[in-house]
Structure 1
Amino acid sequence: MRWLVVLSVFIGLGFGSSTPAHADEFSDAVQALNADNNTDKAAAIEALSATGDERAATVLSALLNGTLFYRQSDGLVVLSKESGNVTILIDPSTMNEVADVSGSEAKKIRINNKLRGQLKGVLGALTLLSKDADKRQNAADEVFKANDPSMLPVLQKAIARESDPDVKGRMLRAQAAIILEYSEDTAARLKAAQTLGEFTDPDISALLGKIANTSTDPEVKKLAKDMQDSVEGRLAAWSFLGNLFQGVSLGSVLLLAAVGLAITFGVMGVINMAHGEMVMLGAYTTFMVQDVIRTHFPAAFDWSLAIAVPAAFLVTGAVGILVERGIIRWLYGRPLETLLATWGLSLMLQQLIRTLFGPTNQEVGNPSWMSGAIETSTGLVLTYNRIWIIVFSLAVLGMLALVTRKTMFGLQMRAVTQNRAMANSMGIRSGWVDALTFALGSGIAGMAGVALSQIDNVSPNLGQTYIIDSFMVVVFGGVGNLWGTLVGAFSLGIVNKFLEPYAGAVLGKIFVLVGIILFIQKRPRGLFALKGRSVEG
């Protein structure tokens, strides 16, 4: 039946009247789309694409998008365009309006998922000869996915005239896939398998595996298996790189969350259980900044994070000073009371945010320069927001290192850390140094919140997600050592990501925690212990 429909379209060419043969061919193929069953519709789609008419892409796109109709009065296939309550019908052959009718007089030509897949492949084939290289490349990819042998002639024609090496490679991939699966020529199939083996693509691996399992030709079967093993080996290497990037990405998040804690806990010896809430306050500051920009300065949205970073630092730094002056300074040398007081403070801050903003997640958008990703055919995806967070975390760490090493405040902070009594005797106001140090750690936590708002839900519980991991990073890297925090964050991030495929996220984190406990039994002061005459708690 399917081939009868195709045949009827071409037979119509010989019985044309006063219209040109090409016009009859196109019109008859379009009209055949209004068939009673999907098999005949599939044949009509092939016949229409075979006409080579430029209008075929428009008609087939309309069919795919659900804007191809037929008029009930005479069954004429038409393009449809809505204009208020009136449906304007357009003749695909002339692109002229046929009539204005009510919506009930025009019925949509319906298709199933199989036909949608066929349409995507056919449209890809029709675009193979486009002047736009990007369109040709996308078309070659669609033809590869469709893997329809009827597209081989137009694909070979496109390969013969293609000059762009990247696009030609995609076309050769599609041609090889079709030949390998449908050709009966052993030599051609072996050459196709060799061609496919040069690509590093999960879809190629799946196709080669299918041929290796189903082919009755022993030569083709063996070569397909060998090529699949080769592709799988390269995919494994790319997967390793992907896991490494994910690990570094997680490490950068842990670094941002932990570097502020390395100041308050590592340098000052304060167990601040409200550190996660400083991260949360930074994220909510970002939300407020973006809300103001969306309302009053929408054109400046791409600058929202540049404004939110210093704003979050100032807000959380000010909160940090209030916490240190109001609570922490009365509890120095009493770690249990400090832990309980800051834990209670964390609950109060969470409830305050729930009261002001509600318990639900808040929308924080990505600027255009943080949207999208670098994607490869190997399955490796490098998202721009993660890349920028890695850069930002290293920049924050570098800035903090400059502050602690090259400024008077940094010198005083290190002096108080190493020997408070001696620092006081030298005239350093250790109380204010403590306040500013706590403000610095809290401010950096707020900056971390700005970054985390781009990849995580902004909610009152945001900080709780990272507080335990932050303490693990600081303890593992070495209390009070910034470079230890860097190494600890990236080490834990990478180990976590490589364990997840085998143990799962939760069990993997448990293994890491057990490993850290065993490690600090041997090195209680972490990887890089802080050196000094007296490190006080």
Structure 2
Amino acid sequence: MKFTHKPWVWAAVASLGALLSFSSHALTAEQAYAMAAADDAEQRAQAINQAVMDPAAQADGGRLSAYLAALSADEVRVAGGKVFVLAGDAATDPVTGGKLSLPADAEEVVNNNYMRGVIDTAQAALALQSGDVQQRRSAAEKLAAEPDADRLPLIEKALAAEKDEQVKTLLQRAKAASLLGSDDAQQRLQAVEQLSHQQTPETQLLLNQRLSDETDPAVQKAIKAALSGIAEGLAWGDRLGAIFSGISLGSVLLLAALGLAITYGLMGVINMAHGELIMIGAYATYLVQVAFQRWVPEAAFGWYLVVAIPVAFLASALVGAVLERGVIRFLYGRPLETLLATFGISLVLQQTVRSLFGAQNVGVENPAWMSGGIALLPNLTLPFNRIAIIVFAFAVLGAVAFMIAKTRLGLFVRGVTQNRAMASCVGVNTARTDTYAFALGSGIAGLAGCALSQIGNVGPDLGQNYIVDSFLVVVLGGVGQLAGTVYAALGLGVLSKLLEGWTGAVLAKIAVLLFIVVFIQKRPQGIFALKGRSAEA
């Protein structure tokens, strides 16, 4: 869009500070026109920056901020040397707020990406005066990411009045980042020194960008030294982040493999439908969420996950009990036939879910108390949903271990597993015990699906991503050994994440698989081998 050059407009822009200082508003008609209708983007950006830096704008930025928001939303029109801000079907004056009649020949002010960036940064500068600390933090982050030496007085003024330590740190980074562009080498050295103490990915990026443009040898040396120190500091965050990610992955594998440790490890059933039982638990969680969204007050929505946990367990346990009674009880002692039968069942379950819910993934929201995370280091944040899954996995592990070791059902399961004929002779209903044990393993798979719904989308193929890894965990840990399952799940999770940092995800997966193959060759019974008569049976 091209506008006729008007000398009086640019005279007004040149004396913008004086005009605004005596104005009762943070915006004048001349300035509003210059910000919208300058001949090119650079002139418009200059007009915007001058307005933001004016003391009157800083004292009363409400009108200017509203006008900038209208510019950003493409709601500004110009005609006959005047500016109009759209307000529904009408138009308003950006200076007085009064209603205006929009001329038929009014032209739209269109912003490119450059202008949108200028406007966003200008709004951030005005937000430094906000009473909301969160708005000031966001504004300081924006100014630190888009440094401008012209805004140094504004940043220093905000820094002097700021009480929040996090905002202060961000403003100090913004100040140092702005000084990096100074023509004075001493000021650039001072900026590098200040940034070297803030070991964050953002400061590392700023210094790397400056290094490519720096010509002074002393400043180049200082930047390289600062980058070396920052890289060393961030390396610890990367290492700890990889370990946490490994523990998080291991907890997911542990949940997925716990049920399989019972159905395969204790009962000898190669259940290829185990992944679909995980999927059923995830969809049960989704249905509970939908029910809460429709019929429960919004304030209670965060409790849906508490209800979803037993629902997911019962849904998968019920499906597992039906499978055991209808198919699997006829195949005990024939593992290859259970593999084929359960593989067919897995296909049926997948298609059933596709027919009911569609082939597309469905989203499950995190409750409010699982959103966010704990920032331990500048480049290390532990998400609450991952922490919750780790705690949940070990809670489920403790409950399963207690049930197997201390309850009547656990005693029956161990008795039937070790010697079915003898258990039957002493009065144990082996058929009922088999159903309960299989339903228990299936229910635990449902709990895994409930947990997985909190870290990703839920779809018909959800379980297929974990079935192979679950079998690897059970075999590596030792068939029938809960302790081995824990060690194998956490070990594989941490090993996978550490290798991913060096080799990438695909090669890491191959390396882990080769490790398991070699380990099983050397120790076929896994990490923990059965001992005594049960091992000889």
TM score, norm. by length of structure 1: 0.90
SS in 1 for 2:458: coil
Deviations 1:246-265 (A, max 9, x none): 22221121111111001111
Whether the 8 Å contact between 2:476 and 2:527 is mirrored in structure 1 is yes
The residue that corresponds to 2:77 in the other structure is 69
Whether the 8 Å contact between 1:6 and 1:47 is mirrored in structure 2 is no
Deviations 1:15-34 (A, max 9, x none): 99xx9556597332222112
Trace 1:437-516 onto structure 2 (pairs within 5 A).
437-516=437-516
Asked if 1:27 corresponds to 2:29, the answer is: yes
The residue that corresponds to 1:255 in the other structure is 254
Match among 85, 91, 95 for residue 97 of structure 2: 95
CA spacing shift, 1:446–1:305, aligned 2, 3 Å: same
Asked if 1:80 corresponds to 2:82, the answer is: no
SS in 2 for 1:181: coil
Asked if 1:39 corresponds to 2:42, the answer is: yes
Counterpart AA for 1:68:
V
| CA drift at 1:7 | 5.6
Whether the 8 Å contact between 1:12 and 1:25 is mirrored in structure 2 is no
The residue that corresponds to 2:124 in the other structure is 124
In structure 1, the gaps of 5 or more residues are none
Whether the 8 Å contact between 1:6 and 1:43 is mirrored in structure 2 is no
Whether the 8 Å contact between 1:269 and 1:536 is mirrored in structure 2 is no
| CA drift at 1:442 | 0.6
Whether the 8 Å contact between 1:122 and 1:151 is mirrored in structure 2 is no
Match among 13, 33, 36 for residue 9 of structure 1: 13
| CA drift at 1:320 | 1.7
| CA drift at 1:134 | 2.4
| CA drift at 1:178 | 1.1
SS in 2 for 1:455: coil
CA spacing shift, 1:312–1:163, aligned 2, 3 Å: closer
SS in 1 for 2:466: helix
SS in 2 for 1:245: helix
Trace 1:95-494 onto structure 2 (pairs within 5 A).
95-99=97-101, 101=102, 105-186=105-186, 188-297=187-296, 299=298, 300-374=300-374, 378-494=378-494
| CA drift at 1:492 | 1.0
In structure 2, C-alpha distance between the alignment counterparts of 1:24 and 1:486, rounded to whole Å = 64
In structure 1, C-alpha distance between the alignment counterparts of 2:210 and 2:364, rounded to whole Å = 47
In structure 2, C-alpha distance between the alignment counterparts of 1:161 and 1:267, rounded to whole Å = 67
Counterpart AA for 1:403:
M
In structure 2, C-alpha distance between the alignment counterparts of 1:351 and 1:15, rounded to whole Å = 71
CA spacing shift, 1:297–1:160, aligned 2, 3 Å: closer
Deviations 1:500-533 (A, max 9, x none): 2333323321211111010011221111223442
Deviations 1:386-444 (A, max 9, x none): 22222221111111112112211112222222333443333222222222111100111
Whether the 8 Å contact between 1:313 and 1:446 is mirrored in structure 2 is yes
Deviations 1:275-322 (A, max 9, x none): 111112212222333333333336343332222221222222122222
In structure 2, C-alpha distance between the alignment counterparts of 1:105 and 1:5, rounded to whole Å = 20
In structure 2, C-alpha distance between the alignment counterparts of 1:131 and 1:351, rounded to whole Å = 55
CA RMSD across the alignment = 2.7
Counterpart AA for 1:261:
L
SS in 1 for 2:107: strand
Whether the 8 Å contact between 1:12 and 1:24 is mirrored in structure 2 is no
Deviations 1:182-223 (A, max 9, x none): 24141x322211110111222211222233343222221111
| CA drift at 1:364 | 3.1
In structure 1, C-alpha distance between the alignment counterparts of 2:26 and 2:189, rounded to whole Å = 42
TM score, norm. by length of structure 2: 0.90
CA spacing shift, 1:230–1:76, aligned 2, 3 Å: same
Whether the 8 Å contact between 1:373 and 1:384 is mirrored in structure 2 is yes
Whether the 8 Å contact between 1:137 and 1:167 is mirrored in structure 2 is yes
SS in 2 for 1:525: coil
Whether the 8 Å contact between 2:260 and 2:470 is mirrored in structure 1 is yes
SS in 1 for 2:382: strand
Deviations 1:308-344 (A, max 9, x none): 2212222221222222222222222222122112222
| CA drift at 1:377 | 7.7
Give aligned-pair identity as a percent.
46
| CA drift at 1:5 | 7.1
CA spacing shift, 1:365–1:161, aligned 2, 3 Å: closer
| CA drift at 1:106 | 4.1
CA spacing shift, 1:137–1:458, aligned 2, 3 Å: closer
Whether the 8 Å contact between 1:362 and 1:459 is mirrored in structure 2 is yes
Whether the 8 Å contact between 2:26 and 2:64 is mirrored in structure 1 is no
Counterpart AA for 1:40:
Q
SS in 1 for 2:96: coil
Is the deviation greater in 20-29 or in 302-311?
A: 20-29
| CA drift at 1:382 | 3.2
CA spacing shift, 1:24–1:436, aligned 2, 3 Å: closer
In structure 1, C-alpha distance between the alignment counterparts of 2:195 and 2:26, rounded to whole Å = 41
Residue correspondences, number: 525
Whether the 8 Å contact between 2:274 and 2:463 is mirrored in structure 1 is yes
SS in 2 for 1:364: coil
CA spacing shift, 1:382–1:530, aligned 2, 3 Å: same
SS in 1 for 2:85: strand
CA spacing shift, 1:387–1:157, aligned 2, 3 Å: same
CA spacing shift, 1:362–1:210, aligned 2, 3 Å: closer
In structure 2, C-alpha distance between the alignment counterparts of 1:25 and 1:258, rounded to whole Å = 65
In structure 2, C-alpha distance between the alignment counterparts of 1:377 and 1:405, rounded to whole Å = 41
Deviations 1:63-82 (A, max 9, x none): 22322332x2x231233211
Asked if 1:57 corresponds to 2:65, the answer is: yes
In structure 2, C-alpha distance between the alignment counterparts of 1:23 and 1:359, rounded to whole Å = 57
In structure 2, the gaps of 5 or more residues are none
Whether the 8 Å contact between 2:16 and 2:50 is mirrored in structure 1 is no
| CA drift at 1:132 | 2.8
Whether the 8 Å contact between 1:13 and 1:21 is mirrored in structure 2 is no
In structure 2, C-alpha distance between the alignment counterparts of 1:353 and 1:182, rounded to whole Å = 62
Whether the 8 Å contact between 1:196 and 1:204 is mirrored in structure 2 is yes
